[in-house]
Structure 1
Amino acid sequence: MNTECEKDVQPGRIIYPGKLLSPYVNYYLMLTGNYEQSEVVDFYPDGGVGVIINLEGNILLNKKLLGKGVFFDGANSKKVQLELKGKVSLIGIRFKPGTFSLFFDADLSKFHNTFHNLYAIGYMLPKRFFEFLESCITDKQRIIAIETWLAYNLSEPDHNISVVLAALKSISANQYDIELQSLVEEIGVDIRQLQRLFKKQMGMSPKKLVKLLRADVARKMLTNSQTLSCLEITYRCGYYDQAHFNREFKNIYGVTPNRYRRIYTD
């Protein structure tokens, strides 16, 4: 299974999945090295969830100490900080919104803004597989092994998962600006059913997800589109006014859009 491409990021490397898994996996993050000084990696909420395979050393996730093992990063509505210090060998798997249930049967409503061992969702990574990942010499070997493992666990979507995926497709097609009533009419379910399915498979309500995805689009515009003012981004992303944009953005990222732009573009 060949990965599509890769790129270096500070302080690690992102590798994108191969063709089979690209509809479901956003990316793999490889962090390996001896960090003499503390390094902090920010993860922003995108509606997806993650798995962290920590092969060596201790890490801090939002100040929570995690040792060697496999951890589930549930649906987040706030920024997550990963802190590295000392010798570390870590693999992060980031799943696209709504796709985790195709690999593991888990009720994500129980894992909002939390970190747990993977067995908390009813799955234990085979010890031999973990040991094999430890023995791999290169990132490529580890990614091939992980993609084989994920492909083995991949299942066809059942009716409930199909409903959520259809809703996500509609939300994206409407550029994250769609009323809940219009959404349920389009996909043919009632509001309570959709909310229940989103809670279980996304870990959050449809309304919360739309807020996160819209804010994520705005966040990327702030750093990638320097010619656009915050006011232009406000209306392009469907916010009522700049006060509305500032309030929702700060609630998720902890800073105003203007402050975020200064921090990450200076």
Structure 2
Amino acid sequence: MIGKTRPPSVDPAKPRGVLRTRLDHGEFQHARRAPSAALAGLIEHYWYVGWDLRGLPAQQQETLPHPNVQLIIEPGAAGIYGVHTGRFTRLLEGQGRVFGIKFKAGGFYPFLRTPVSTLMDRSLGVADVFGAAAQTLESEVLACDGLDAMAIVAERFLHAHLPAADAQVERISTLVADIANDRSVTSVDQLTTRTGLSKRALQRLFQQYVGIGPKWVINRYRLHEAIAQLQEGKPVAWADLALELGYFDQAHFIRDFRKLVGRSPADYARVESAGRR
């Protein structure tokens, strides 16, 4: 059995993994809504992003990956996206809006019924999973004005396609929430102790339900924690932060950070500091 979730060491209500916390100009909206109790075991939240840059230069937004499948709808495009292993970059221009359903880690498997790892770094059309009814979902969501109305449409659709209950979903989603919220989790060995599962069994469980291995999930959430600390603007001792996040030394931390974010921790901190002035 998985141990009880420890008190979170990070704020679960605050979006994590957004590399640019503010745009240089224009209007930008970001909102989230929790699912109903009936869907809370499968859905993390619904989200909405809107922007208005008409007459202004385009701006680039970047986000870090999460171990979640997402169903995303916007004018002219809709899809189901598996775990993306690199940072996601989007050029925002003109006026636009996007609605998303973020499934809990493991929460999309009951809909897909095949290993979620088959979706890693790729996407499917919504109809590939939900059939012709996907067209109704897309059109009704895009006809809505605002997140609340969009979420109601999504809830109605998901209720109509609710899969059979799967006890493993709660198990894996609780474990991933532990990893996300407890910064002391820095190794797969710790997970084997908590769960009583072998490393091989954990790997199979994560590949089937989450779509990526447990080591990757741990590493990404610890890097999310590093980003959050740098965004707060507090002085950072890099060697201490690296050790706190489970790295053997500062060099390995900087290497992983640069590979994912595209710049060193110090460079990222300087850019964020300049944006706050």
User: When the two structures are superposed, what TM-score results if normalisation uses the length of structure 2?
Assistant: 0.75
Name the residue aligned to 1:16: 33
2:140 aligned with 1:132: yes
| CA-CA distance at 1:217 after TM superposition | 0.9
Closer/same/farther in 2, CA of residues 146 and 35 from structure 1, 3 Å limit: farther
Q: Specify which of 49, 67, 71 is matched with residue 30 of structure 1.
A: 49
Name the residue aligned to 1:59: none
Name the residue aligned to 2:71: 51
Give the residue type in structure 2 aligned to 1:13: H
Higher mean C-alpha displacement, 95-104 vs 244-253: 95-104
| CA-CA distance at 1:203 after TM superposition | 1.6
| CA-CA distance at 1:185 after TM superposition | 4.3
Alignment size in residue pairs:
249
Whole-angstrom CA distance in 2 between matches of 1:185 and 1:16: 34
- The question of whether the paired residues in 1 share the 8 Å contact of 2:33 and 2:45 is answered with yes
- The question of whether the paired residues in 2 share the 8 Å contact of 1:6 and 1:16 is answered with no
Higher mean C-alpha displacement, 168-177 vs 70-79: 168-177
Whole-angstrom CA distance in 2 between matches of 1:165 and 1:45: 16
Name the residue aligned to 1:62: none
Structure 1 gap ranges (5+): 57-67
Name the residue aligned to 1:123: 130
| Equivalent position SS for 1:12 | strand
Whole-angstrom CA distance in 1 between matches of 2:256 and 2:14: 32
- The question of whether the paired residues in 1 share the 8 Å contact of 2:68 and 2:104 is answered with yes
Give the residue type in structure 2 aligned to 1:28: W
Whole-angstrom CA distance in 2 between matches of 1:225 and 1:44: 19
**Cα deviation per residue 1:26-56 (whole Å; 9 max; x = unaligned)?**
45023255644423221211222322101x2
Whole-angstrom CA distance in 1 between matches of 2:264 and 2:203: 29
Give the residue type in structure 1 aligned to 2:71: V
| CA-CA distance at 1:72 after TM superposition | 1.7
| CA-CA distance at 1:9 after TM superposition | 6.8
Whole-angstrom CA distance in 1 between matches of 2:144 and 2:216: 40
Give the residue type in structure 2 aligned to 1:93: I
2:202 aligned with 1:194: yes
Equivalent positions of 1:99-110 (< 5 A) are 99-101=107-109, 104-110=112-118
Name the residue aligned to 1:114: 122
| CA-CA distance at 1:182 after TM superposition | 4.3
Name the residue aligned to 1:80: 88
Closer/same/farther in 2, CA of residues 155 and 35 from structure 1, 3 Å limit: farther
Closer/same/farther in 2, CA of residues 229 and 149 from structure 1, 3 Å limit: farther
- The question of whether the paired residues in 1 share the 8 Å contact of 2:46 and 2:151 is answered with no
Whole-angstrom CA distance in 1 between matches of 2:255 and 2:109: 32
User: When the two structures are superposed, what TM-score results if normalisation uses the length of structure 1?
Assistant: 0.77
Give the residue type in structure 1 aligned to 2:176: L
- The question of whether the paired residues in 1 share the 8 Å contact of 2:35 and 2:45 is answered with no
| Equivalent position SS for 1:126 | helix
Closer/same/farther in 2, CA of residues 173 and 141 from structure 1, 3 Å limit: closer
Name the residue aligned to 1:207: 215
Identity among equivalent positions (%) equals 20
Over the residues paired in the alignment, what is the CA RMSD in angstroms? 3.2
- The question of whether the paired residues in 2 share the 8 Å contact of 1:108 and 1:201 is answered with yes
Whole-angstrom CA distance in 2 between matches of 1:149 and 1:250: 40
| Equivalent position SS for 2:93 | strand
Name the residue aligned to 1:175: 183
Higher mean C-alpha displacement, 150-159 vs 74-83: 150-159
Higher RCO (CA < 8 A, seq sep 6+): 2
Whole-angstrom CA distance in 2 between matches of 1:91 and 1:215: 26
**Which structure dedicates a bigger proportion of its chain to strand?**
1
Closer/same/farther in 2, CA of residues 146 and 173 from structure 1, 3 Å limit: closer
| CA-CA distance at 1:103 after TM superposition | 5.2
Give the residue type in structure 1 aligned to 2:50: L
- The question of whether the paired residues in 2 share the 8 Å contact of 1:198 and 1:206 is answered with yes
